[in-house]
Structures are given as C-alpha cells and as structure tokens.
Structure 1
Amino acid sequence: MAEKDMVAVTAPESAPESAQELSAEKDTIAVPAPELTEAEPASPKGLQFWLVFVALCLAGFLSATDASIIVTALPTISNDLGGQAQYIWLGNAYVFAGIAGGAHTPAMFISGRLLQGLGGGGMVMLIDLIVCDLLPLRERSAYLGTVLGACAVGTLVGPVIGGALVSRASWRWAFWINLPVCALTLAAMAVFLRVSWQRSPSWTHALARIDYLGNTIFVGSITSILIALVQGGVVYPWGAWQTILPLVIGFAGWGAFFVQQAFCKEPTMPLRLFAHRTSASVSLQNFIVSVLLEWCIYVLPLYFQAQLAASALDSGLDILPINAFMIPSGAVAGALLTKIGRYKPLHWGGFAVLAVSASLFSTMSASTSTVAWAWFEILAGIGIGFPLTTQLPAIQAVLPESDTAISTSTYSFIRSFGFVWGATIPSIIFNDRVDAALGSIDDPNVRAALAHGGAYSYALEVRKLTGTTLQQTLDVYAEALRAVWFGGLAFALVGFLLVFVEKHVDLRVTLETEFGLEKENRPERITTADKLENIA
C-alpha cells in the first residue's frame, strides 16, 4: 500500500476537529478510535516492567553523566593535553556519534569521546523508544519525566564529580569511574528486557530494508557542517576555505538527503514526520530546548571560573540549582500532561521562563550575588524542564503508532544535534566578542593568551592577575558573556513564537503496538484492520 493511502488512527472522537485536520494534512483516511475517557485506569505494571524501567533510568543517568562530567574539568584537560586550540573538539566529540581516560594527546582523547558518544547517543534514543513501546501516549510524558529526572541527576552530579576528580585525584577518573555502572546496567537489561518484536523473514531481508544511501549522505553532511562550525574562528578563520568548504558541502548534502528521502522506499527520516504543523513546530522546539540546555551547562561554569574565581569543583557545585529544578519541573510537566492532556500551555510557559532567565543571565558580572545567580538558574531549570518532557508525546499525537520508532529516533537525533549547537554557538559568540575586545587589555601576554579561542581554557587563570590587568580582563569576559546570553534569549523567543504554530490533538490513552514486554499483561489490541472491518 502506498504511503499516501495509509490508514491513520486518529485521536479519540472527543476531538473531531483535530482528527479532521490530521486527515486533511496527511491525506489519509481517518478512522475514529474507540471512545475513551480520562477516567479509564492505566494498564497494570508488573515487576518486570518496573525492573526494566529502573534499568532505563540507570542508563539515562549514565549517559547524562558521561556527557556532562568533563564540563568543569575541560580547562584542566585542555591544558594537560596541550589541546587549547582543540578545546571545542574535546567537549563536542561526545555528541558526534573508553579510551579517553587513558589519552595522552588531544587526538586520542577526541577519539575516545567519539566512541563514548556512539554508545551514549544510541542509548538515549533507545531509552525513549523503549518507554514509548511500553506505554500508551497519554502515560508516556509522566514516565519520560522520571527518566529525565535520572538524566538530570546525571547532568547534575557529572560536573561535580568531574570537578572533584580534577581537584582531588585526576581527570582521567572521570572516564574510568563509569565502567562499574555500565556493567550493572548491561546486566539488568540483558536479564529483564525481553520485548516482543516483528521478526523479518531473514537477515538478508532485514539488512535490505536499511537506507544505506540516505544514511551515508546524512552522516557525511552533518559531520561536514559540524566540522566547519567547531573549527571556525578557533582553528581557522571564518573566511578561510577550510571553514567555508565543509559548510557548503554539508548544507548541500543535507538538502540532497531530504530529496532522497522523498523517493526512498523505507527512508531513515520520512518527510511525513514533519507534514503536520504540530510535529514540525515541536521538532524545532525540541532543537531549541536542547540548544539552550547545553548552552546553560556549557557557559555557566565558564562564568563561575572566570568571573567569580571558582575552582573546577566549585563551578560544578554552582550549577546545581539549574539541574536540581529541572528534575521536579520536568516531572510536574509530565504529570500535568497526563492529567489534562494539553501540551501547548506547558510549552508556552517553558519558553517564557527561559526567555526571562536568559535576560537575567545577561546582567551577571563579577559582583553578582550568590542569591541572584542561583535564582536565575532556578528559572532556567524550570523553563527547560517543562517542554523537555512534553515534546515527544506532542509529536507522536499526530502520528500513527507505526511511526513510534522512527519518530523517536528522529526526536533523539534532533536533541543530540541541538546539544552540539548548544556548545558551538555560544563558543562562536564568546570567542568573537573576546577577540573584538582584546584591545582594551594593556598586557600583551594576556591578550595573546585570550586570542583565537584561548579565553575558555584561560578561565581558571584570570584570578591570578592583579590590578588594572585583572579588571580589564574581567570586563572583557563580562562583555563577551553578556553577548552570549543575548544569543540565548533570541533562541528562547523563537521557541515561544513556534508554540503558536501548534495544533492541539488529543493524546491516545491505549497502547496500540505489536511491541512491548513479552510477559506484559495488556488488553487485547484493536488493530486498524479490525476498525475498518467494523466500519464496513
């Protein structure tokens, strides 16, 4: 059956207007689902479900810890490895996709982080996918909120652990310490995660379904774009051919990828995922929230170390408020979505609070009080938490259950892609503003140390300066950081405006999928074919 003739299962009959728009926008036959009420009890969860869910939370914690543990240690790692010019790669290599702990050169460290990123990135996507396969759409946000809580704890303790290891032992332990947790998580998944799945007739048939051409174009083009963004202004000037060429190739390849997807039989990222205005808008919001989350985690330690003379450990402790409040706000948002079934107010509220927090961050300087910056972080945590747990259910509300896996993987990619930009864009702004303001510093040695991306790794050295040179350097950092937060404000405002594009669609309260735990005691699934037969 051609894609345009596919039968779409719409929201419950209580939202006929939404169902009609979904049918019109996707050019499909709308089949009303059985009438369901908010009072319908959730399906019972057995011991196997909870053991799997705990393992998922542990996996999320591990992935988040791996991603954030070097934030406070990065200046030290950069200096120890002699990688000042490659510091942006040291931080970003993880999100491009073991041996980092034993690295003795920047190239070896980056290679190790690439391997970690391959595992961590795949784990994040699979966590979301497994939750979606185990739970109906209406319940997903609450459980995703709990998983987010585990991820947020990892993000919360990662910088603290990294800072403590730098101060008390060695930054290399930041990578060795996760090995026992990896072993425990793997054991739990291997024993308890037994899922139903549709088996292909043969391995040959399964392998033939992979979109090799699309994946090759996609990975190559995205990598080319990231190389240009990461190296531009640091390794090579923005006007150099080494920056412009990969950028042009990357965007041209990205365009070719979407053209290829329109004609591919089983595409990697089907264009139908973005055919509805809600899924398209929320996907962009997902990117923006991911950018701003990484933006805060990346920039705040720099502020604490350069402006407030915080150590690597102290700067990890100083970003606790944003992470601590992201956990409960994400859980509250998930519970509210499960209760009321409406996601637009939660998205509006989140981006509004994010815009306010970015504005307040732009006012920070060396004289900002602890109470002030702590409250600014609390607001940012709330603003990030509200949309973070409610975006995937909103995207999947306008898609059939058959698109759960591919929509989840696309959602996870957009999120990971946003993390890269969330570290790269503020770095670009920061380095540009520092270079522009270097003339205000009298000491030529300090100017040389800060130029061409050196200001990030120099953050811990700022407070060793004295007199006029110290004040001039603090002013340069403050002005550059102010510009960075203005950039974050622009992203938050764009996200707020995108919420107006969303169309409310009721969230399904039953699970209609052939996947799930093998021993799960779920009600008998009503298939699309059954509904068509009943209508006939």
Structure 2
Amino acid sequence: MEQSMMPATPSLQDDKDPLALEAVEQPAAARRNLGFWMVFVGNLLVDMPSALDLTAVSTALPTIVDHLHGSDFIWASSAYAIASTAILPIVGGFVSVFGRKPAIVAFIIFFAIGSALCGAAQNMTMFIAGRAVQGLGGGGCIAVTEIIYADLIPLPERGKFYGITASVWALASAVGPPIGGAFAGSGIWRWLFFLNLPICGVSLVLVVSFLNVRTPRDSFRAKIASMDWIGIFIIIASTLMVMIALTQAGVQYPWTSARVLAPLCFGAVGLVLFFIVESFWIKNPTVPRFIITNRTTLSGYLGTFFHGIVSIAAIYYLPVYFQACKGASPIGSGVDLFGIAFTIAPFAIMMGVSAEVFRRYRPQNYTGWVITIVGFALLSTLRADSSRAQYVAFQVVVGVGLGMIWIGTQFPILAPLPFSNNARALAFFTFVRAFAWGWGTVVGGTVLQDTLRARLPAALLADVPAGAQLAYALIPAVAGLEEPLRGEVRAAFAESTARIWRVMIGMSGAGLLTCFLMQEVPMRRALDEQWGLTNISQPAEGGGEAVATPGAATQAGA
C-alpha cells in the first residue's frame, strides 16, 4: 500500500492555534454511511441521561431531600454543577492528547458509577457524593459529544443536526419532569438514577463498536507531558473556590462572612491569573487565546454564560412555584413544566435550520434574547392565585427565547475559526455553560432564601433548623398549614420566585448586550479531518485489504 493512501494519525504537534492555520474549504458529500449514523445515535444516547438528570431530578429533589432527612438542597443541586464544571477544563486537552474514544468511554463509566451511588444513597452525604461523581461523568460526556458532533459535521450543516440533538433535550424536558414527579410521589425516586445504568450500557456498546477514530501515537509519557497541568490546576482550584463560596453564601453563612468572601476573592483572582498565564506563558494552553482576541467568538462565550444562568434558573425554580404556591404534587409540577419543556426544542431546531438556510446567526440571537426578556418579565407578574393559563402561557414565551439561544451562541464561537471542530474551543464552550449553570442554581437559591427569610412569619422560621434551605424545608409542610398562615406562606413563595425572575430579566439583558460584539462571519465548511471517522472503503483491486480514509464526516457526509 502506498504511503499516500495511509490515514493521517494525529500527534501532539498537530494541535496548533487554529487562527494561525489556513483551512481549505471542503465540499459536502452526498451521503453519510452507517458508521456515521451509529456514532450519532450513540452520542444521542450519551446525551439522554444527562438531559434526564437535569429535568427529572430538579422536580424530585424536594422529595429526595425530605426522604433522606436532609436540608441542604443547594448542595444536592450544586454538587453536580460544581463537579461537571471542574472536570471540563481538562476535556479539550484530554481528547486532543488521548483521543475521543477513550475519553467518552471513561466519562460514561463515571456517570454510571455516580448514578448507582445516588440510587443507593442512605443519607444526604452519600447522595451529594454520588451527584459529584455523576457531575464528573455527565460534564465530560456532554463536552466530548459536542466535540465528536463537530468532528463529523461541517458548521453550516450543523444546524439540522443540532435540531436532532435538541429533540433529545425536548424529549427529556417533556418526559423528565413527570417521570421525576411520578417516581418521587410514589416513593421510588431511586429509580431515577438506576434507570441511567442500562442507557449508559447501550451507549457504551455503540461507542465502542462504531466510534472508530484515530488517536495520537505518541508515548504515554509524552501525552502526559503535553497537558497544561499548571493551567488546569489554577482553573480547577479557582472554579471550586468560587462555586463553593456561592453555594454557602446566604444560606449557611452570610455574604459578608470570611467563609464566603475569602474563597470568592481567591477564586476570582485565580481565574484572572489563569487567563494571564494561558495568554503569555503556556505553550499548549487549555483555553484558546483567540477567545479574548476575536470579538465574535468572545460574544458567543459571553452569551453562553448568561443563557446558562437564565435557563437553569427557569428549569430549577419553576417547580418551586408550582409545588409551594399551587399545591402541586411532584408529578403535577412536572406536568406544569410542559409549557417550557415543549417549546425549547422546537425553537432550537428552527434556529439551527434558519442558520443553515440563510447562513446568518446574528438576527436569531438578538431575537431570542428579546423574547427571553419579555418572558421573564411576564413570569415576574405571577402571584400565588395566578391561573394555570397564565403560568403556562408565560412559560411558552420564555421557552421560545431560551430555545433560540440554546444553540445560537455556538455559531459565533466557531464561525471565525478555520476548523469548526476545534476541541479546546468546544470544551471551553461546555465549561462556560456548566459554570453558568452553577451560578444559576446558586443565584436563584440565594434570592429565594433571602426573600423567604424576609417575608415568612417569624414563628414559622423558628421551626426551621439553622442553616437549612428554607424552600425545601417548608414545601412538604405547606399543604398541612392552617389558614391564614398557609396563604401567607404561599404569597411569600410567589414573591420570592417573582424576584428570581426579575434578576433573570437583568441577566437576559446582559445576554442581549453581548450580541453587539457579534459580527456576521461566514460559516466555514472546513474540518480538521485528522479527527474524523476512519471509513472503510471498497476493497482494492485484486481483493486487497480495505483502505481506511480520513475524514469520513465530510467524505461520506451529506
């Protein structure tokens, strides 16, 4: 076999700054083969447990915390976000150095172990530990699947495939809340986590069988040496300090406490130091330098951050309103969340398709943020006695805006790059989103806690254990309170959630401002084909061995 016929195998030296590369535009081929579709389905199955975890567990958490005799709802919800955020800085370098397949297999296994720990939890400590392990696996899975999608599909075509992946989130958003509510209401919430195990098993089989991609041939020592360990240590330590400070602030300790201010300040300084070190001293940085030098890419990352905050706040804290103010059961609050669940995905699909058809992404980002602001403004008018028609209709408006932005920010991030499957750029995208999810749950929880403390009767607050998260200590008891106390408590919850939505109006306004940095950069078709699937072509003449060709994503793709 001639040397020119052999597939290129990536090495550690292949990972250069993408803005320094000259890309050659590649035409899309007519069709994609079976291997492509099996990998795509496998990735969808990897995404499914993470999506279900987000939507189903948020509905069931009040019941889980109560069943395990706990009070730290914020830790139960934030442990996943903190762990998934902490692991993400490693992912871009890890998949570039060790390859896509070993990375995704390892993260699926971590997610499965975490799910088993949560399902078997006998107390809140074990449950929170399981959520942390789940976060390590879930965050890594989402990051690696984003990278694999980008390896397979040119950016202009990616919109319709994002639509398919958004449908997975739509399915999870639609069935997750009622599943979580049903399992919590019937006392079998543990199966929310045990059901992840067979899904992880099937996805592992598909990934191992069909994700035939190249891995660098360098020695293990060379791979380890090439990792940006200094940058990784700084950003992980800084992220953990910031997230732990935010988790404790306003609940366990006041914002002015040294236990909050010290880690918050050290973490903030560490994040600034990280970007300085990455920009000037690190040869193979964890975070690409171009994120702060290209205004369009920067606008996409900033938009991703603010979208992450507002989207997770809506998903986590709407069920609080339903259960506390409307007396909904866990399954009922899941059904009540349909208004947002059934609108995010269709409008994400519409955004992706419109970007492909019109080759533009700025108008959709502007429109999405404006609609999101209007939606949260409507939610902020809800009171304890608001009708079902009101809170369903207002959710729909929020869902339309969130759906448009859900995938809209990735186009400006990747459009300026010669190769749109840059692993470090995509890993940092998922890091920003996960970091924002942590902020969203903590900011929402802090607003909820502070407002309830100011509005609830003092006699009722005296019965709540010190340091407990008020909302989830009181929700199970609201229905059993006598009037007029029950009405006062529901009014306090309504005002508290309304204040969350007002904060989210401000966050959405900041998201809208990021669009002013955005330019309409033409979306390139070029992919760095060294990371594509190996495609087994027709046998060579004379019955010779089949030839592996690089870049099956574009050569066999549509």
TM range (shorter): 0.7 to 0.9
Alignment-derived partner of residue 17 in structure 1: none
Write the deviation string for residues 88-121 of structure 1: whole angstroms up to 9, x where unpaired: 0101111222301111221111110111111111
Match of 1:478 in 2: 494
Calculate the TM-score normalised by the size of structure 2: 0.84
Determine which of 327, 331, 353 is the counterpart of 2:371: 353
Task: Give yes or no for contact 1:435–1:451 (8 Å, CA) kept in 2.
Answer: no
Answer yes or no: is the 8 Å Cα contact 2:155–2:420 preserved in 1.
no
Alpha-carbon spacing, 1:476–1:233, altered in 2? closer, same or farther (3 Å): same
1:300 corresponds, among 293, 314, 318, to 318
The answer to whether the aligner puts 1:128 opposite 2:114 as a matched pair is no
Structure-1 residue corresponding to 2:391:
373
**Which residue pairs with 1:96 in the alignment?**
82
Task: Give the match for residue 320 of structure 1.
Answer: 338
Structure 1 residue 422: deviation in Å?
A: 1.3
CA contact under 8 A between 1:225 and 1:247: conserved in structure 2? yes
Decide which of 130, 133, 137 is 1:115's aligned counterpart: 133
Query: What pairs with 1:1-150 in structure 2 (closer than 5 Å)?
Result: 42-84=29-71, 86-97=72-83, 98-150=116-168
TM-score w.r.t. the length of structure 1 is 0.87
Q: Contact 1:141 / 1:334 at 8 angstroms: preserved in 2?
A: yes
Residues 403, 127 of structure 1: CA spacing in aligned structure 2 closer, same or farther, 3 A cutoff? closer
Partner of 1:449: 464
Residue identity matched to 1:516: G
Deviations 1:474-515 (CA, angstroms, capped at 9, x unpaired): 221122111111001101111112111101100013434321
Tell me if the contact between 1:146 and 1:331 (Cα under 8 Å) persists in the aligned partners: yes
Give SS of 1:99's match: helix
Q: Is the 8 A contact 1:75 1:458 kept in 2?
A: no
Residue 145 of structure 1 contacts residue 331 of structure 1 at CA under 8 Å; is this kept in 2?
yes
Deviates more, 1:427-436 or 1:151-160: 151-160
Match of 2:262 among 236, 245, 251: 245
Distance, in Å, in 2 between the alignment partners of 1:32 and 1:404 is: 12
Asked if 1 retains the 8 angstrom alpha-carbon contact of 2:212 and 2:533, the reply is yes
SS at match of 1:70: helix
From 473, 479, 490, the equivalent of 2:506 is: 490
In the alignment, which residue of structure 1 is the partner of 2:328?
A: 310
Deviation at 1:251, TM superposition (A): 1.0
Distance 1:121 1:247, change over 3 A: same
Q: 1:450 Cα deviation (Å)?
A: 9.0
Q: Aligned partners of 2:411, 2:132: CA distance in 1, in Å?
A: 30
Per the alignment, in what secondary structure is the counterpart of residue 69 of structure 1? helix
User: Could you tell me which amino acid in structure 2 is paired with residue 221 of structure 1?
Assistant: S
The answer (yes or no) to whether the contact 2:81–2:438 under 8 Å persists in 1 is: yes
Q: Write the mapping of 1:409-424 to structure 2, written as runs, cut at 5 A.
A: 409-424=427-442
Query: CA 1:416–1:152 in structure 2 vs 1: closer, same or farther (change >3 Å)?
Result: farther
- CA change 1:114–1:120 in 2 (3 A) is same
2:231 corresponds, among 210, 214, 219, to: 214
1:165 aligns with 2:183: yes
Distance 1:340 1:204, change over 3 A: same
Contact 1:307 1:478 in 2 (8 A): yes
Q: Which amino acid aligns with 2:63?
A: T
1:246-265 superposed matches below 5 A: 246-262=263-279, 263-265=281-283
Q: In percent, how many aligned pairs have the same letter? A: 32
Q: Which amino acid aligns with 1:87?
A: F
> 1:389 aligns to what SS in structure 2?
helix
Which gives a bigger RCO, structure 1 or 2 (Cα 8 Å, sep 6+)?
Answer: 2
Q: Quick check: 1:200–1:206 contact (8 Å CA) kept in 2?
A: no
The one-letter code sitting in structure 1 at the alignment partner of 2:46 is: A
Aligned-pair CA distance for 1:393: 2.5
The answer to whether residue 515 in structure 2 is matched with residue 499 in structure 1 is: yes
Asked if structure 2 preserves the Cα contact closer than 8 Å seen for 1:69 and 1:159, the reply is: yes
Q: Distance in 2 between matches of 1:196 and 1:434?
A: 55
Structure 1: how far apart are the matches of 2:278 and 2:378? 42
Instruction: Check conservation: 1:136, 1:509, Cα contact below 8 A.
Output: yes
CA distance in 1, matches of 2:439, 2:508: 14
Amino acid across the alignment from 1:245? A
The equivalent residue for 1:14 is: none
2:240 to 223, 227, 248: 223
Matches within 5 A, 1:174-185: 174-185=192-203
CA contact (8 A) 1:93 1:113 kept: yes
Any gaps of 5 or more consecutive residues in structure 1?
9-25, 526-536
CA 509–270 in structure 1, closer or farther in 2 if over 3 Å, else same:
closer
In structure 1, the residue matched to 2:347 is 329
**CA–CA distance in 2 between the matches of 1:106 and 1:220?**
24
Q: What does residue range 273-288 of structure 1 map to in structure 2 within 5 Å?
A: 273-288=291-306
Structure 1 404/121 Cα, relative in aligned 2: closer, same or farther at 3 Å? same
Paired residues of 2:291 and 2:298 also in contact (CA < 8 A): yes
In structure 2, how many angstroms separate the alpha carbons of the residues matched to 1:260 and 1:466?
60
Consecutive unaligned residues in structure 2, runs of 5 or more: 1-12, 84-115, 538-547, 552-558
- 2:158 and 2:421 map into 1 onto residues whose CA distance is 15
Which of 448, 452, 461 is residue 477 of structure 2 equivalent to? 461
